Amino acid sequence: MESHESPHDRTPDAAREALDTLNADRSTLADHIVTPPWFYPALAAITTAFVASPAAPTPFVQSMVVVAGSVSLIFLVLAYQKRTGLAISRTAGPRSLGVLIVVGVAIVVLLGLSQALTLMGMRPWVAAVAVFTFVMVLAGCRVYDRFYDTELRSGR
Amino acid sequence: MAADPRFDDAIHAPNRLRICGLLRPVDSADFAVLRSALGLSEANLSKTIRSLVDLGYVRTAKSASASRGDARRTTTVSLTSLGRRAFDGHLAALRDLAEGRLSPSVEHGDG
């Protein structure tokens, strides 16, 4: 039965017990947050499409790639929420945030590189950038997952 | 940035505190996820969530769910910004209390 505790519950022992319960719940939550095996490959594929889009033969095709990628991203997030019953958009601590920033900056740089290669007439090299992007995002997401799990369990 | 310790009687009750603790790292959680994590009955969880909604600490939203075989809708639960602040402050107060930095007799921001 839910009830308010009395002021007598404001003891160090009661506080430690409450903190232990919260820690156990965070571990339960971390156990529940298991990323589906298809999620990161799908995310890496969508990101790769964005990065390689400057090499599309026409601006119209490039726009279509960006639109299709954006729609896919929305469906991917919705599928994740449906699968786990959780919506998550914030990191669990400084290390997972750091990984997210590094991956985000790398994606912007790779997009710029892809654009530059296309403008310099070196379009075939965009394929190499695309392969690197896919591998980098996949690896980055796995590192992110590991840090997120650790930070969630430890309460940052 | 660390929250200022602020003991909040309104969420000190175990189930209320645990619900806030589970919602703090996420944007929202399905009712079923909370029920499974807390091991509470549907009625008890509903009642506790309603009390948190009345406090302004939690909000709920209902949406159609293709994953359900019946016509019922999925309820998602999330902390409000007020709830996040209250939980962070209470958590800081619990840590201070546990480590002896806060006197059990001192009232801190009850309400």
Burial label, A26 (beta-carbon count in 10 A; 0-12, 13-18, 19+): buried
C-alpha dist (Å) from residue A54 to A43, A70, B9: 19, 15, 57
Confidence of residue B104 (pLDDT cuts 50, 70, 90): low
Residue A152: is its pLDDT beyond 50?
yes
Residue B105: is its pLDDT beyond 80?
no
Contact A15 B98 (CB under 8 A): yes
B28 contact residues in A (CB cutoff 8 A): 86-87
Nearest chain B alpha carbon to A16:
B98
Domains of chain B: 9-98 (1.10.10.10)
Q: Are the beta carbons of A88 and B24 closer than 8 angstroms? A: no
Burial label, A74 (beta-carbon count in 10 A; 0-12, 13-18, 19+): exposed
The whole-number pLDDT of residue A10 equals: 81
> How big is the A-B interface in CB pairs under 8 Å?
95
Confidence of residue B3 (pLDDT cuts 50, 70, 90): confident
C-alpha torsion A148→B95→B46→B59, nearest 10: -70
To the nearest 10 degrees (0 to 180), the angle between helices B31-38 and B14-23 is 130
The whole-number pLDDT of residue B67 equals: 55
Residue A5: is its pLDDT beyond 80?
no
Alpha helices in B1-111 (DSSP H): 14-23, 31-38, 42-55, 81-98
Could you tell me where the beta strands, DSSP code E, fall in chain A? 86-87
Comparing A36 with B104, the larger pLDDT belongs to A36
- pLDDT tens for A137-147 read 999 999 999 99
Question: H or E element: which one contains B79?
Answer: strand B74-79
- Chain centre distance of CA A30: 15
Confidence of residue A34 (pLDDT cuts 50, 70, 90): confident
Task: Take residue A115 and report the two structure tokens written for it.
Answer: 């654009």
- pLDDT tens for A54-93 read 999 999 999 999 999 999 999 999 999 989 999 999 898 9
Residue B110: is its pLDDT beyond 50?
no
Comparing A4 with A119, the larger pLDDT belongs to A119
Residue B30: is its pLDDT beyond 60?
yes
C-alpha dist (Å) from residue B30 to B26, B78, B86: 11, 9, 21
Q: What is the mean pLDDT of chain B?
A: 86
Q: What is the mean pLDDT of residues A107-116?
A: 97
Confidence of residue B1 (pLDDT cuts 50, 70, 90): low
Query: Distance between CA A112 and CA A118 in Å, rounded?
Result: 10
Task: Take residue B55 and report the two structure tokens written for it.
Answer: 């406090």
The whole-number pLDDT of residue B48 equals: 96
A20 contact residues in B (CB cutoff 8 A): none
Task: Take residue A32 and report the two structure tokens written for it.
Answer: 């529940």
- pLDDT tens for A9-28 read 788 899 999 999 999 999 99
Q: Are strands B28-30 and B74-79 parallel, antiparallel or unpaired?
A: antiparallel
Looking at the complex, does the CB of residue B3 fall below 8 Å from at least one CB of chain A? no
